[in-house]
Structure 1
Amino acid sequence: MPIRQFQAQRMRAPRDFQPIDSTPICVEIGAGKGKHALLFSANHPEFQLIAVERTREKFVAMQKQHQLEGQNNLTPIHADALPWVVHALHPAQVQQFFILYPNPEPHNPAQRWLNMPFFEFLLSRLQSGGQITLASNIPEYIEEAQQQLIDVWKLPFVKERIAETSARTHFEIKYLERGELCQQLIITKPVDYTTRFDDFQPLQGKQPTEVSAE
């Protein structure tokens, strides 16, 4: 399906927004209660992970557990991912994005990650050779994303079946216990890959540009 251009200049900064200046970083979008974020940061102290969650209840649960465990390489963020990414991240700053079991948007396919114009902006924040891990328990979601990678985004990827013993998120545990097929796409950004946002710097709290109606 055709993808229109993302209007980054229209994005308002999240409340209590703080820009991220460290490089490089990893980012988890939709981190939930933080099970994967806490495991990843504990097992990979060499990486700095930013875990973004929009739902306050889930964010608070992640924050409390982080305070108990104390990983200094994990930063939980309570924000909507789209404006946060636009305002907080610099071009080619991210080593890896994790998008694990996102809402499949059954009634609004245009809001699925690889169908959104925003996905191009997300790619601009990813380093050359960086990766995006997209996981789902819905075969049709993975199949559609795979086709978008081929037809629209022209990106190399590997499709993997997630092991039955995997336990990265609460959703993953539940789905695998029910015997559902969980899969992931490991998407890689080639060295020569370009987007229209490669030179777009963070807005960092500036008011969005007003665009007059035609």
Structure 2
Amino acid sequence: MPIRQFQAQRMHAPRDFQAIANQPICVEIGAGKGKHALLFSASNPDKQLIAVERTREKFVAMQKQHGIEGQNNLQPIHADALPWVVHALFPAQVQQFFILYPNPEPHNPAQRWLNMPFFEFLLSRLEVGGTITLASNIPEYIAEAQQQLIDVWKLPFVKEVIAPDSARTHFEIKYLERGELCQQLIITKPASYSTRFDDFQPLQGQTTPAMNIEA
């Protein structure tokens, strides 16, 4: 399906926004209660992970568990991911994005990650050779995303079946225990890849007059 251009300059900063340093990081979008974020940061002490979660209840649970475990390379963020990414991240800053079991948006396909204009902006924040891991228990979701990668985004990817004993997120555990097929796409940004946002610098908390945004 055709993709409109994302209007990054129209994004309002999240409430209580705080800027971050321009250094290599990994980002998990929709981190939930933080199971994957805590596992990843504990097993990758050399990497800095920012885990973004919009739902307050889940964010508080992640924050509480992080306080217990205390990984100093993990930073939980309570925000909507789209405006946070626009206002916080620098071009080619991110080593890895994780989008694990996102809302499949059954009634609004245009809001699925690879159908959104925002996905182009997300790619501009990814370093050359960096990856995006997209996981789902819905075969149709993965199949559609795979086709978008081929037809629209023109990006290399690997499609994998997730092992039955994997336990990265609470959703993943539940789905695998039910015997559902869980799959992931690992998308790589090649050296030759360019977007219309490669020179777009973060807004760092700036806001514009209120207007309706079509993501």
TM-score, length of structure 1 as denominator length:
0.97
Q: Structure 2, unaligned stretches of length 5 or more? A: none
Task: Kindly tell me the number of residue pairs found equivalent between the two proteins.
Answer: 212
- 1:45-92 Cα deviation digits (max 9, x unpaired): 000000000000000000000000000000000000000000000000
- What secondary structure, in the 3-state scheme, does the structure 1 residue paired with 2:67 have? helix
Partner amino acid, structure 2, of 1:81: A
Deviating 4+ runs (over 6 angstroms): none
The reply to whether residue 14 of structure 1 matches residue 14 of structure 2 is yes
SS in 1 for 2:32: coil
> So what's the TM-score if we normalise by structure 2?
0.97
SS of the counterpart of 1:60? helix
Q: Take 2:171 and 2:196, find their aligned partners in 1: how far apart are those partners?
A: 34
Query: Where do residues 1-214 of structure 1 align in structure 2 (5 Å cutoff)?
Result: 1-208=1-208
Percent identity, aligned pairs only? 86
Letter in 1 for 2:47: F
* Structure 1 residues without counterparts, runs of 5 or longer: none
Give the Cα–Cα distance (whole angstroms) in 2 for the partners of residues 49 and 192 of structure 1.
Answer: 26
Offset of residue 125 of structure 1: 0.2
> For the residues of structure 2 that align with 1:189 and 1:23, how far apart are their CA atoms?
18
Kept in 1, the 8 Å contact 2:22–2:89? The answer is: no
Q: For residues 181-211 of structure 1, give each alpha carbon's deviation from its aligned partner in whole angstroms, at most 9, with x where no partner exists.
A: 0000000000110000000001111122678
| CA distance in 1 between partners of 2:147 and 2:115 (Å) | 10
Contact 2:82–2:118 (Cα < 8 Å) also in 1: yes
> 2:105, 2:207 → 1: CA distance?
29
Contact 1:9 1:209 in 2 (8 A): no
